[in-house]
Chain A
Amino acid sequence: MNRYTSLLLLGVLPLNSACSRKSESVALPAPTAFGAAIVESSGGKQMAQTGGLLPQPLVVQVNDEQGAGVAGALVGFSAVPGVIFDPASALTDSSGQVSTNVSLGGMAGRYQVTVTTLDKSHKTVELKVEEIALGYQQTLGRRLNDQYCDRCHNAESTVERVSNYDNLEIKPHPFTEGDTLNKMSDADLTAIITYGGPALNKSSLMPPWGNTLSKANIQALISYIRAVSDPPSRSSGPIYANLHGESHLHTLASPGVTTP
């Protein structure tokens, strides 16, 4: 069965070999220290187009029991085949941090990245981070969001773009607000976008977009909203997690051995 699945996966993501092949020949550096925990510093929950590079690197920190950064600990990154890490493993720097550039797989959805290191007793310490790959429809939705929705639905301002969120008497739901939005069906979302807030007895500050946006565009917006919701929406599809949990951990224990 295992061979069967891996064969299938090979069939799906033929080009992921680019990275794995590279890492085959690279010998892992030897760890000079061991930590007790891994924490995410930055770079989780980012979005990229399918197969694309995340805009910011994923940065994690290895801490000791007191929560101070540990330099020289070996950290490995793994995910389903198709996700490329550059580098896939590295030693922490003087502040205990490791940074890697992540390219997501070719299918839209959420990708779970497993970050591992070893503690003093050579047991595995793990951290799971999620990243989001957007397919065509979600990418289109994201552009439409930038153009029509973001100014009100996103409370954050940038120098280039001031948010209108604070000016609204009744606050709109940010699209990441999964607790609320996941309870709404696609039909509900379509109705509120098409006919405006009053369609669901909500504020008329939400205007109707049915004459401005095509049905396909509204569909695309909903698929984007589903893709970014936190906690994840069920209709955003499967979460690509590394089912073969062993990753290349065993090789971390014995420095010098190459990754599989």
Chain B
Amino acid sequence: MKEKIRSLWQKLFGDSVRAFGVVSLIFLASMAIAPAKNFFSEWRHYQHGYQRMVRNRSDANTLQRHFRGGIQQIWLPEMGAVDRCTSCHVGLKEASLSDVALQPYRKHPVIPHNLDQFGCTVCHRGQGAATTVAEAHNSTLAWEQPILPAKYIESSCGQCHGGPLLGTPQLNQGRSLLAREGCVHCHTVKLPDGSLMKATDDPPSLSHIADKTTREWIFAWLKDPQAYATTATMPNFKLSNDDARDISAFLIANSAPVAGDTLSVPATRSTDPAAAASLYGESFCASCHAVQNAAGNMVGGNLGPELTRIGSKVKPEWLQAWIRNPRAYDPGTAMPHYRFDDGQVASLSGFLLAKTDSDLLSSVHLDPATPEQVAHGKRLVSDYGCASCHEIAGIKKPENFAPELSRIGSKPVTQLIFLAGMQHTLPDYIAGKIKQPRAFSPGLKMPQYTLTASQIDALTTALLSLNDRSYALPASLSVPAPAESDYQPDGKAGKLMTDLACFSCHRINGHGGDMAPDLTLEGSSVQRDWLVQFFKNPGTLRPAVIRRMPRFNLADAEVKELTDYIMTVYQSPTIDRDSMPLGGYPQGQVELGKSLFYGKYSCQGCHIVDTKNDKGYIGPTLTHVGSRLTAAWIYQWMKDPQSLRPGTMEPDRAMSDEDARALTAFLMSQKVGGSVTKTAKTGSPRQEMAKK
């Protein structure tokens, strides 16, 4: 063996000429490696593949003309993007390649942006400068940023767009969940515009909780909030029996009564159950509160708490006082102050108190609390950060209780601690943390939420949009969310509107909810007499709409106050209410309007004028519209509905002045014969649906 090596050595490097020759050869060969490596590179391989694929297509000429070989690059200095992705993804801009299944050759799906302006990694993440698949798409030793999984892609829209977009439902949902599920009570989220993300939920104050409920209920609730209400926002803190016992002891001991928030109504609770149920229905409690029906379905809105087992929770005297005037106990509540009389309070509270669940508290037996337990409970309340969400007398709201999430979407993977078996990526980490926070360490304080898989995906999407890029955007690219207005009406009417919680459902001047119509221009829209009647007895305007205006049992003076304010203040600058008469249009014009209504414009598809023949119930019923709306409003609505109510479903028909006037004349001829509200109550499709 040794001999062989020696002879080989002799042959190759025996004399200096020979050695020089051999070394030169080796040098030459190694020089050739670099071009060879380049020649066999992945991008070249894909480009050859593309040319082969294109060759046999009918549009080969066009595609070949567009093709440019070599490494391609999109350079966006403003955004710090150097994207060479188009070196392999050759056909991204070729419209005819949208049906190609073979990647990397498919056309990029249609999006509202130009690829040359936004590049690739701004939305998809990954390493733009890399020229191999592994380095571009995955996290490797040298690179950290992997491609963003498709299901979180909307998070990239959220880097620039601060507000909701129609095409990004998942991002919108995630953001609203962040605000609504209480995340931002503990975690600070500073938005790119410098403002703090605000919570939209309203956890109740616990300073007076003993007025409202019992220690036993608090214990059961702490142990498992969803056992009481499946829709409860309160997460499960997985407390031991002893801890739940002590916290309930502290909360009861710490509670101070509120003057006037308990009430004993003389009337007995054994009122007619059918009448009570119909009062519950007429007051549209279900617009905000849900109740689980016998089939297990949740029926009702989610603005207020679920009421399925309310009778097992509240003290009767508290409930009665709450129904009479919720603002006595909680001045900031979203619940309106209905003007119920004693009989109605007794009836409604009886109806609600019957909603009990005998299993809920049957196993809860608590001995009287000892001072040690109360003291321990207080310590636990501080430890778990209860005061981050709830107002608790004597306990300060903790600051920076949980890690700030402002730039969570850029957190380096090296700083994360993963669970065994988990993919080492940021989205997986975030989703895993939301899904089962305590799996990461039993000592963690973050409680267990009851979220569906799609809600977790949505939350993860929203969190991923909070990344370094979103804070470092050039001003020209950032599209901030429309500013939330804090509009408040003034004076007596303003106080009245707060008392009736109008803004829980209606939006005015950019402030308020979206359950009911925007009232910013209401004064230009409706006739005064109709509004007065509507306050006294709100009828159905849109038969297919499930949530309706309740009757607040207002006094005449209150109705006058509200009506005056609305008619004077909430006016459109472009509509002169008195510019067109409310009636007296020539018969010919009315007839023309009628033929346009049923013919050219086929309004009966969505609206009802003649209750016998018309069936459409997408839009409001127009049977008595001539007594409800002003002619000037109808005319303007015909011309351009979106200018009056942005986003309304009513299509803009670009109507001629003549058609608009004729239709206005026809609609204004539809006046009340009897009472305004009578017609709408019968045969509501919604009621039929509810029966089913």
Q: Which residues of A contact B (CB under 8 A)?
A: 4-5, 8-15, 18, 21-22, 49-53, 55, 101, 103, 105-109, 135-137, 139-140, 143-144, 147-148, 151-152, 157, 159-162, 164, 166-168, 203-205, 207-209, 211-212, 216, 219-220, 223, 235, 237-238, 240
Q: A15-B147, A137-B109, A207-B601 are in contact. Are A101 and B99 (CB under 8 A)?
A: no
Q: What residues of chain B lie closer than 8 Å to A166, measured between beta carbons?
A: 615
- B286-335: which have CB < 8 Å to A? 297, 299
Q: A8-B102, A151-B618, A209-B651 are in contact. Are A160 and B546 (CB under 8 A)?
A: yes
Verify if B112 is at the interface (C-beta below 8 Å from A). Answer: yes
Verify if B196 is at the interface (C-beta below 8 Å from A). Answer: no
A51 and B109 alpha carbons, distance in the complex (Å): 14
Tell which of B297, B546, B599 has the most Cβ of chain A within 10 Å: B546
0 or 1 for each of B82-119: is its CB under 8 Å from A? (1 = yes)? 00000010000000001111111010011110000000
Asked if A12 contacts B99 (CB within 8 A), the reply is no
Verify if B240 is at the interface (C-beta below 8 Å from A). Answer: no
0 or 1 for each of B451-463: is its CB under 8 Å from A? (1 = yes)? 0011001000000
Asked if A212 contacts B109 (CB within 8 A), the reply is no
Q: A53-B454, A204-B602, A208-B653 are in contact. Are A136 and B616 (CB under 8 A)?
A: no
Q: A140-B166, A164-B616, A207-B601 are in contact. Are A52 and B686 (CB under 8 A)?
A: no
0 or 1 for each of B540-579: is its CB under 8 Å from A? (1 = yes)? 0000101000000000000000000000000000000000
Contact of A53 among B112, B425, B453, B606 (CB under 8 A): B453
Say how far B92's CB is from chain A's closest CB, in angstroms: 13
Contact of B166 among A4, A143, A212 (CB under 8 A): A143
Verify if B149 is at the interface (C-beta below 8 Å from A). Answer: yes
Q: A14-B137, A205-B605 are in contact. Are A212 and B651 (CB under 8 A)?
A: yes
A166 and B98 alpha carbons, distance in the complex (Å): 38
Q: Using A136-B109, A160-B546 as known contacts, list a sample of 4 further A-B pairs with CB atoms less than 8 Å apart, ordered by residue number in A.
A: A106-B150, A204-B602, A220-B110, A235-B99
Q: How large is the interface on B (under 10, 10 to 19, 20 to 34, 35 or more residues)?
A: 35 or more
Q: Which residue of B lies closest to A55 (CB)?
A: B454
Verify if B153 is at the interface (C-beta below 8 Å from A). Answer: yes
Asked if B150 contacts A167 (CB within 8 A), the reply is no
Q: What residues of chain A lie closer than 8 Å to B146, measured between beta carbons?
A: 14-15
Asked if A212 contacts B99 (CB within 8 A), the reply is no
- B636-677: which have CB < 8 Å to A? 642, 649, 651-654
A139 and B461 alpha carbons, distance in the complex (Å): 16
> Lowest 6 CB-CB distances: which A-B pairs, in order?
A51-B150, A12-B103, A106-B150, A51-B151, A167-B615, A140-B167
A188 and B76 alpha carbons, distance in the complex (Å): 40
Say how far A163's CB is from chain B's closest CB, in angstroms: 9
Q: Which residue of B lies closest to A162 (CB)?
A: B544
- B410-425: which have CB < 8 Å to A? 421, 423, 425
Q: Which residue of B lies closest to A211 (CB)?
A: B652
Asked if B599 contacts A204 (CB within 8 A), the reply is yes
Asked if A204 contacts B615 (CB within 8 A), the reply is no
A204 and B457 alpha carbons, distance in the complex (Å): 42
Contact of A18 among B110, B428, B454, B642 (CB under 8 A): B428
Say how far A245's CB is from chain B's closest CB, in angstroms: 16
Q: What residues of chain B lie closer than 8 Å to A55, measured between beta carbons?
A: 454
Asked if A14 contacts B653 (CB within 8 A), the reply is no
Asked if B615 contacts A50 (CB within 8 A), the reply is no
Instruction: Summarize B's interface: helix, strand, loop or mixed.
Output: loop
Q: What residues of chain A lie closer than 8 Å to B652, measured between beta carbons?
A: 211-212
Verify if B690 is at the interface (C-beta below 8 Å from A). Answer: yes
Q: Which residues of B contact A (CB under 8 A)?
A: 46, 49, 88, 98-104, 106, 109-112, 133, 137-138, 146-147, 149-154, 166-170, 297, 299, 421, 423, 425, 428, 453-454, 457, 544, 546, 599-602, 605-606, 615-618, 642, 649, 651-654, 685-686, 689-690
Q: A53-B454, A136-B111 are in contact. Are A12 and B147 (CB under 8 A)?
A: no
A18 and B422 alpha carbons, distance in the complex (Å): 9
Asked if A167 contacts B167 (CB within 8 A), the reply is no
Q: What residues of chain A lie closer than 8 Å to B617, measured between beta carbons?
A: 162, 164, 167
Say how far A138's CB is from chain B's closest CB, in angstroms: 9
Q: A51-B153, A55-B454 are in contact. Are A159 and B651 (CB under 8 A)?
A: no
Q: A140-B167, A208-B653 are in contact. Are A164 and B151 (CB under 8 A)?
A: no
A103 and B150 alpha carbons, distance in the complex (Å): 11
A-B contact pairs, 17 of them (CB 8 A): A8-B102, A12-B103, A14-B133, A15-B147, A49-B151, A51-B149, A53-B151, A139-B168, A148-B649, A152-B605, A159-B546, A160-B546, A167-B615, A168-B605, A203-B602, A207-B653, A219-B110
Q: Which residue of B lies closest to A19 (CB)?
A: B423
Asked if B649 contacts A164 (CB within 8 A), the reply is no
A122 and B399 alpha carbons, distance in the complex (Å): 64
Q: Which residue of B lies closest to A141 (CB)?
A: B167
Say how far A154's CB is from chain B's closest CB, in angstroms: 12
Asked if A52 contacts B457 (CB within 8 A), the reply is yes
Q: A140-B167, A168-B616 are in contact. Are A238 and B649 (CB under 8 A)?
A: no
A125 and B183 alpha carbons, distance in the complex (Å): 48
Q: A9-B103, A139-B167 are in contact. Are A162 and B685 (CB under 8 A)?
A: yes
Asked if A139 contacts B642 (CB within 8 A), the reply is no
Q: A12-B104, A162-B685 are in contact. Are A18 and B606 (CB under 8 A)?
A: no
Q: A49-B170, A101-B453, A212-B642 are in contact. Are A108 and B109 (CB under 8 A)?
A: yes
Say how far A218's CB is from chain B's closest CB, in angstroms: 12
Asked if B423 contacts A18 (CB within 8 A), the reply is yes
A65 and B151 alpha carbons, distance in the complex (Å): 41
A148 and B641 alpha carbons, distance in the complex (Å): 14
A166 and B617 alpha carbons, distance in the complex (Å): 11
A37 and B78 alpha carbons, distance in the complex (Å): 59
Tell which of B101, B299, B601, B615 has the most Cβ of chain A within 10 Å: B101
A109 and B109 alpha carbons, distance in the complex (Å): 11
Q: Which residue of A lies closest to B134 (CB)?
A: A14
Q: What residues of chain B lie closer than 8 Å to A52, measured between beta carbons?
A: 150-151, 170, 454, 457
A240 and B106 alpha carbons, distance in the complex (Å): 13
Asked if A152 contacts B618 (CB within 8 A), the reply is yes
Q: A151-B618, A209-B651 are in contact. Are A11 and B137 (CB under 8 A)?
A: yes
A11 and B133 alpha carbons, distance in the complex (Å): 6
Q: What residues of chain A lie closer than 8 Å to B421, measured between beta carbons?
A: 22
Asked if B133 contacts A136 (CB within 8 A), the reply is no
Asked if B109 contacts A135 (CB within 8 A), the reply is yes
Q: What residues of chain B lie closer than 8 Å to A208, measured between beta carbons?
A: 651, 653
Asked if A143 contacts B103 (CB within 8 A), the reply is no
Say how far B621's CB is from chain A's closest CB, in angstroms: 12
Say how far A1's CB is from chain B's closest CB, in angstroms: 11
Q: What residues of chain B lie closer than 8 Å to A240, measured between beta carbons?
A: 101
Say how far B567's CB is from chain A's closest CB, in angstroms: 30
Q: What residues of chain A lie closer than 8 Å to B616, measured between beta carbons?
A: 164, 167-168
Asked if A107 contacts B106 (CB within 8 A), the reply is yes
Asked if A162 contacts B602 (CB within 8 A), the reply is no
A237 and B616 alpha carbons, distance in the complex (Å): 37
Q: Which residue of B lies closest to A209 (CB)?
A: B651
Q: What residues of chain A lie closer than 8 Å to B642, measured between beta carbons?
A: 212
A207 and B599 alpha carbons, distance in the complex (Å): 12
